A and B are shown apart, each in its own frame.
Chain A
Amino acid sequence: QSALTQPPSASGSPGQSVTISCTGTSSDVGGYNYVSWFQQHPGKAPKLMIYEVTKRPSGVPDRFSGSKSGNTASLTVSGLQAEDEADYYCSSYVGSGHVVFGGGTKLTVL
């Protein structure tokens, strides 16, 4: 199972919005509504930000939102804040008890 494709980097100024894409195939992103997004700060464990494409766990700001169209999922961070600077990973369930991750996107707040 190949990794999902994410852009290596993204950036935006405070207050702006930025969208990170996650491209897969009909066997993963396009085939299941089990796409998640994780935020990881340096030296820390990943934190779930979005699950099942659009849902936010309790405590995650509503500035974070998820969507999907075809084989591509997206994470949008609105009203960028300095603390949003981190690595972001998408993942998708691919059936048969397997999960695949994206390569990660480093988000820089300018």
Chain B
Amino acid sequence: EVQLVESGGGLVQPGGSLRLSCVVSGLTVRSNDMSWVRQAPGKGLQWVAAIYSGGDTYYADSVRGRFTISRDISKNTLYLQMNSLRPEDTAVYYCARGLANLNYWGQGTLVTVSS
């Protein structure tokens, strides 16, 4: 059974940093493309970042230069390092397997950026 479990969300002040983790079981992050998708309260889904199985990384324009997606193959874990956070980054952040086809999702972790 495939499971993705996010953690690391919380309340952070504008300009602050946070690192999200996504522990994966049932598949390997080394062999799969992986993505982060977010959803602001009451709003729609927004793709944030992706890391290909080969290691290439891609970012939405709104987070490029502030967020970094990475993975630890030994821990089978996906990360999202978020710096220079803004109030508009407030959202539930989901990790998901794939990019063109997002077929497994975690339950999400809430990030609130507020003073």
Contacts and interface: CB of A to CB of B under 8 A. Distances in A.
A51 B45 contact: no
Interface residues of A, number: 26
Contacts of B58: 96-98
Given A89-B44, A99-B47, A101-B45, A45 B108 contact: yes
B50 A45 contact: no
B105 A45 contact: yes
Contact of A91 (B56, B61, B102, B108): B102
A104 B45 contact: yes
Given A45-B106, A47-B105, A97 B94 contact: no
A8 to B, nearest CB: 10
Interface in A1-56: 1, 3, 32, 34, 36, 38, 40, 45-48, 51-52
A93 interface: yes
Interface of B: 35, 37, 44-47, 50, 52, 56-58, 60-61, 94, 99-103, 105-108
- Per CB-CB distance, the 6 closest pairs between chain A and chain B, nearest first, are A97-B58, A34-B100, A93-B100, A99-B47, A104-B44, A45-B105
6 contacts: A45-B94, A45-B108, A51-B103, A97-B57, A99-B102, A101-B46
